[in-house]
Amino acid sequence: MLGAVEVIGLTLVAAVFTAMAQYLFKLNVKEFEFSMGRIVAVLSRKGTVAGVCLYFVGLVFYIYALSNEPTISLVYPIFASTFIFVLLISKFTLNEPINARRVLGMLLITAGIGVVALTFPV
């Protein structure tokens, strides 16, 4: 059984892989409609396949973290760091703007994760 620090680390790694998958999905799905032909076309793109693979790797890390921590109430809030990673990736790769409200939101998420993490013994 892993300790809380290792579980937090695994969960953060899962969040990074999931955020990178979201980035690849954004790059490869410019337009989407619910038709079988369009779905197959999107899913057959290399970037989309790579995103699915990253999502799967993130899922494996996440499940491993869950299996080593008896409380989902620690792991899941830390996984919310995905929002932070997506914001940073989108800023530095897609040049999306980060305004004061987004910074505030990112700080609130970080503070919330910190508060939740501090409620568990290390």
Measuring CA to CA, how many Å separate 1 from each of 4, 6, 66, 69? 10, 10, 11, 8
Range of the domain at 36: 4-118
Mean per-residue pLDDT of the chain: 88
Instruction: Output the pLDDT for position 30.
Output: 74
DSSP line for 53-117: HHHHHHHHHHHHHHHH-S-HHHHHHHHTHHHHHHHHHHHHHH-----HHHHHHHHHHHHHHHHHH
User: What residues contact 18, with CB distance under 8 A and at least 6 apart?
Assistant: 54, 55, 58, 59, 62, 79, 82, 85
**pLDDT score of 107:** 93
Total-model pTM: 0.86
* Number of compact structural domains in the chain: 1
pLDDT surpasses 70 at 35:
yes
21 against 73, higher pLDDT: 21
Q: Are 80 and 109 in contact (CB under 8 A)?
A: yes
Give Cα separations from 112 to 33, 47, 57 (angstroms). Answer: 36, 33, 25
pLDDT over 80 (residue 45): yes
